[in-house]
Structure 1
Amino acid sequence: MENNVMTPAAVRSGHPGRTIQKMAGDDKSGRSPAGGGRSPLGADRRKPQRSSKAAIVWLILFLVLAGLLLFKGYGPARAVEFSQSEFEEKLAAMQIVSVEMTWENGNVMVCEGKFRRQGLSSVPVTTTPVQSPRSGDAEIRPNADETYKTRVVYTDDLARLLQKSGANVVVKPNNSGFWNFILIGVLPLVVVIGFIYFFSMRQMRASGRGAMDFGRSKARMIPPDELNVHFDDIAGADEAKEEIREIVEYLKDPLRFQLVGGQIPKGCLIVGEPGTGKTLIAKAVACEAGVPFFSISGSDFVEMFVGVGASRVRDMFEQARKNTPCLIFIDEIDAVGRSRFSGWGGGHDEREQTLNAMLVEMDGLESRNGVIVLAATNRPDVLDPALLRPGRFDRQVVMDLPDIVGRRQILDVHVKKIKVDSSVNLDVMARTTPGFSGADLANLCNEAALLAARYNREAVTQADMEEARDKVSYGRERRSRRITDRERKLTAYHEAGHALVALHNKYATPLHKVTIIPRGTAYLGATFSMPKEDAYTRSKLELEADMEMTMGGRAAEEIIFGDITTGASGDINQLTHTARLMVCLYGMSDKLGTIKYGNFPAHPHMPFDAQPEERVSPETAREIDLEIRRLSQNALESARDCLTRHRDELEKLAKALLERETLSIDEINVLLGRDPEPDALGRPEQTLRPTEDDGTAEQGL
């Protein structure tokens, strides 16, 4: 049967009067039930990164060489360039001190050496030369030796001038061409290439994406002693643990199964809503069995290069065969295991090749005894049929949302991590949280601890737990929001209308509390109703009663103010949705009969337009619209009649809400003189927010 039980609340959104009732089976995105949020499956054993000192040394060397090549030297003194005529004039004036001659080619030679501004016959060099600096040039010392450089053509006249000048002439062999070529032509290129290679290889090693490792598997092998998760740490999933325990027993004692001819499932697909503990139970299997655990995500296989994913699949199974017996866990396998027949063509070749490689490795010609594949997904409907057949994933383990007993067990696990007051009633919290996953309950306990710390309490109280529950479901209270007296009055009567219709209809979901405190981003008030127990089917009378309660706010506005507001938009949306389900899906219309009309999603995350279209004739569509209108109008008229008969109670309840803002079911029964319900979820009087007067706290829930 389909799970279509309404959940615990009718909540106002936007303006006075919107109510929202959610399905008890609707999931809340969360994490694992007993272990909080998902965490890495063990420490990532990577080598420490190399020090950056080597990079700094390479950078400094590169800059030094570039500077030497650019400036052809260093220091403040630079060689003065002479032409041949100037050089001959200096020789004639006896200003050249030394000459180092190097043959270049033919009669051309390079001359370098020292010269003086004054001739050799002039005044000798002073010990303290007078400095006369010029901007951008070397310091000029009148009697100090300076460096020169010139390129001249060797002639007989130049030879005679060199003999008469009295300069110290040295002829050097021409062996610098090779070294100049190395220094100027080769060395800069080598330095640049080495610099680029060093940083590129260092970055590739740091990211683990070396050229040789690109097709290697990214699966991490985690030893069992690092997991530290046992079946006792998982609460609220007794059936799933019992079903998957066979894998643990086989890994511990395979001979017992082999003697009777039994074969353990080669693969096990763990299916469940987000936050129900799929990853956690896989870790518990590996920890209990005491075997190596390979963990990888389905998205790690898919790359932009075709063939890389298939190569990683083959490498992963090759590593697993070397460590048998072992477990391979593929999280979110729908990323790579989607059906190959879902489109009309133009499929992603990389993803399909990866899937084909996985199909062959799981059940192909080669044997893989001792390798068990576990996979987790919350979208089993999109997986390829070849992946789900016996011989690959032989068994599917369902991690369902916990029932009331499971929620109590999960709360027992998480309250051990926080300090709670003796007045906290976990039975009430388990009953008032239908549809919560294990991750939601873990978040609830954590939020309650944060609230207690915020108000300087030594332990978590029942008020903290309830406020945390409402915060997780509908958002935080917005007491700072400025609301006019008119809107506040509208909200009070609107929520009082919801509450009274629920009180006077025995088929409606039992009332829990009413508040006119804004919450979240859209709610100006809320009417909370909690079922007495988990329910997976609803009767026609119960659905009609909830529809009447949904329209109680709009009916109260018409009766009290003679006008209607936009605040009932959420109520109308919920009413129309329920009426359409009754007519088109549940077969609860006498006029249209037990026939399914239109499209309805097969999965809660799948939109309506993703389903194959089921056409209905224009005449049938008109009859559907008329029947939905009839059910909606009947709900509004029933709510209006109820509030008209009990208008005095409506006035009394609305005024009490204006004064106290929040009323529990026990307080409402006392206010209206009704007998208390034997299983009402009234909470003890506890404090939540300290006031500025006497240090006590006002009731906020």
Structure 2
Amino acid sequence: MTIQSRPRDTDRKTRVHLSVYDRTKFLMLFTLTFFVLAWASMADNPLLSFNDAIVKTADEKLWLLVLAGVEIVRQIHFILAELLAPYHGIWLKYFSFVNRLLGKLSDWNRFRLGRVIKWLIFVAMLSIILGAVYKETPIRALFLAPKALWSVLPMIGQLMFAVVFVIIQFAAIFWFLSRGGVDTYFPDDIRTRFSDVWGQDHVLNRIRENLLFLETPELIEKHGGYVPGGILLWGPPGTGKTLMAESMAGETGKPFVFVDPGAFTNMFMGIGVLKVKSLFRKLRKLALRYGGVVVFFDEADALGNRGISRPAMHSTESNTTVFGTPCNGGNYLSDPGKSLVINSTISSSKFMMGGAAGGGGGMGTLQALLTELSGLKKPRGFINRVVRRALGMRPKNPPKYRILVVMATNMPEALDEALLRPGRIDRMYRVGYPSKAGRVRTYEGYLEKVSHSLTAEEIDNLATITPYATGAIIKDTINEALIMAIRNERTTITWSDVIKAKQL
């Protein structure tokens, strides 16, 4: 069985038939307008009969009858084109000839010519309408248009004031709702330095490199490269990711913007998008003023992803399927590896529609963030964008915004893949458990702040017996040991205090 496609307009022998509504809509409009004008004449003169009102309106509004006659001729033309193929062919040849002539013009010239013709038609229609209102010739009535505009200006002003007042109310509400969750620190506002971060020297060296490129971008740009614009710090909780960001704020000579994890969580849809745009507008201004800026998103997994959301029961089922087998399943994997395996298992077996589309700061927030990180940069300034274009001048290209985006999370698998691609997040550093040497240095750093009697050998042994101690755990251990010493009416921490604190 051969399926025939719908014929193209160029293949038709006759014109497509119009519906009854399309054929009569303008005639109905002209008829209604004519009778409304006749009714207005009867309202002005109660002694005027209906027949006399019709005759008077026909005499005074002859232009309306002319328009109705033109519409009748147009519909007759359409009917002939729908019924007679030779008649339709003549008009096809005519319009193809006109299209060939217009095709010789460039798109820009056709656009300008079309705009001039539209304005001429608008002015002509306006002059005819004003002539009917003022009972003058169309040309003379056109010069009375400023007078008419001036007479209705107070009413237009009142309407504009009401509209602007409502807009200002909504703008003020959304402006206040889009505030908060973003803190800006300028150089020397924070005293934390890289020397205060212990046990993660390999990550700090990479971060120093990124800050060096931010402060002196010509080191890489003169060789044809570009400054990395995004860093992701991921690893277990308590390993010092946020402390590293704080030390970056202390070390860099650029402004540091801290974004709260819940900054994009809002009551109303669309507020998160406004916050993202407001944040990056602020970042661009700071980058131009200071030559660069660092922005830090703590707990970046709060941004969510654009994937599907899955109920907890399905995660439990998949967890049992993968890790509950007699041969130990995937228990040998690391925590991030386990999460990736579970997510891939759920995705391949079930598709659950979620109301929040993966959680996060709200519908559109993550998409707005992705666009701001690597979207098109429009020219800055009203004069540059509007005035120069109105004068026929090309707007200046947008400047290079040197913005270093740093994110921290302990659940990298929860981040959207589009967020992690190069160009948005160029470098990903794992901030894992510190090595033994790192733990020793961390213990020494926190013990230097208190009075203690531990020897270097005891500190080394302490680092040996705490293989998974993070910076936060070590800090808490020393603090608990100090509390025990004070409880025993001492101010010096001993080995036994540390051991008891470790066992809590």
**TM-score when normalising by structure 1:** 0.36
User: Within 5 A, what are the aligned runs for 1:267-346?
Assistant: 267-324=230-287, 325-342=292-309, 344-346=352-354
| Match of residue 357 from structure 1 | 368
- Residues 416 and 262 of structure 1, relative CA distance in 2, 3 Å threshold: same
Distance 2:437 2:419 in 1: 34
Please list every run of 5 or more consecutive structure 2 residues that lacks an aligned counterpart in the other structure.
1-171, 311-351, 378-397
User: Within 5 A, what are the aligned runs for 1:379-418?
Assistant: 379-418=411-450
- In structure 1, the residue corresponding to 2:262 is in which secondary structure? helix
- In structure 1, the residue corresponding to 2:258 is in which secondary structure? strand
| Match of residue 403 from structure 2 | 371
Counterpart contact for 2:181–2:262, Cα < 8 Å: no
Note the alpha carbon deviations across 1:342-391, whole angstroms, 9 max, x for none: 55333427624000000000000116621111111000011111010111
Distance 1:289 1:214 in 2: 31
User: Within 5 A, what are the aligned runs for 1:82-161?
Assistant: none
Q: Which amino acid aligns with 1:304?
A: M
Distance 2:503 2:439 in 1: 16
Distance 1:428 1:374 in 2: 36
Distance 1:448 1:364 in 2: 52
| Match of residue 89 from structure 2 | none
Q: Which amino acid aligns with 1:328?
A: V
Counterpart contact for 1:297–1:333, Cα < 8 Å: no
- Residues 210 and 456 of structure 1, relative CA distance in 2, 3 Å threshold: farther
Q: Which amino acid aligns with 2:478?
A: C
Shift of 1:290: 1.2
Q: Which amino acid aligns with 2:201?
A: D
Counterpart contact for 1:244–1:397, Cα < 8 Å: no
Q: Which amino acid aligns with 2:450?
A: I
- In structure 1, the residue corresponding to 2:474 is in which secondary structure? helix
Counterpart contact for 1:216–1:311, Cα < 8 Å: no
Counterpart contact for 1:404–1:430, Cα < 8 Å: yes
- Residues 352 and 384 of structure 1, relative CA distance in 2, 3 Å threshold: farther
Distance 1:229 1:278 in 2: 13
Choose from 192, 217, 222 the match for 1:229: 192
Note the alpha carbon deviations across 1:158-186, whole angstroms, 9 max, x for none: xxxxxxxxxxxxxxxxxxxxxxxxxxxxx
Distance 1:364 1:224 in 2: 29
Shift of 1:423: 4.6
1:463 aligns with 2:496: yes
| Match of residue 205 from structure 2 | 242
Counterpart contact for 1:449–1:460, Cα < 8 Å: yes
Q: Once superposed, what is the RMSD of the aligned Cα atoms?
A: 1.8
Counterpart contact for 2:270–2:363, Cα < 8 Å: no
Shift of 1:339: 4.2
- In structure 2, the residue corresponding to 1:440 is in which secondary structure? helix
Q: Which amino acid aligns with 1:340?
A: G
| Match of residue 220 from structure 2 | 257
Note the alpha carbon deviations across 1:279-321, whole angstroms, 9 max, x for none: 1111222321211111112321021211000110000000010
Percentage of matched positions with identical amino acids: 35
Distance 1:253 1:299 in 2: 33
Shift of 1:458: 3.7
**TM-score when normalising by structure 2:** 0.50
Distance 1:375 1:387 in 2: 11
- In structure 2, the residue corresponding to 1:387 is in which secondary structure? coil
Shift of 1:338: 2.7
Please list every run of 5 or more consecutive structure 1 residues that lacks an aligned counterpart in the other structure.
1-208, 472-701
User: How many residue pairs are counted as aligned between the two chains?
Assistant: 263
| Match of residue 461 from structure 2 | 428
Note the alpha carbon deviations across 1:207-238, whole angstroms, 9 max, x for none: xx965321246311111212111111111001
Counterpart contact for 1:337–1:387, Cα < 8 Å: no
| Match of residue 159 from structure 2 | none
Counterpart contact for 2:309–2:356, Cα < 8 Å: no
Distance 2:198 2:502 in 1: 19
Counterpart contact for 2:197–2:244, Cα < 8 Å: yes
- In structure 2, the residue corresponding to 1:427 is in which secondary structure? helix
Note the alpha carbon deviations across 1:627-673, whole angstroms, 9 max, x for none: xxxxxxxxxxxxxxxxxxxxxxxxxxxxxxxxxxxxxxxxxxxxxxx
| Match of residue 120 from structure 1 | none
- Residues 348 and 458 of structure 1, relative CA distance in 2, 3 Å threshold: closer
**Structure showing the higher strand proportion among its residues:** 1
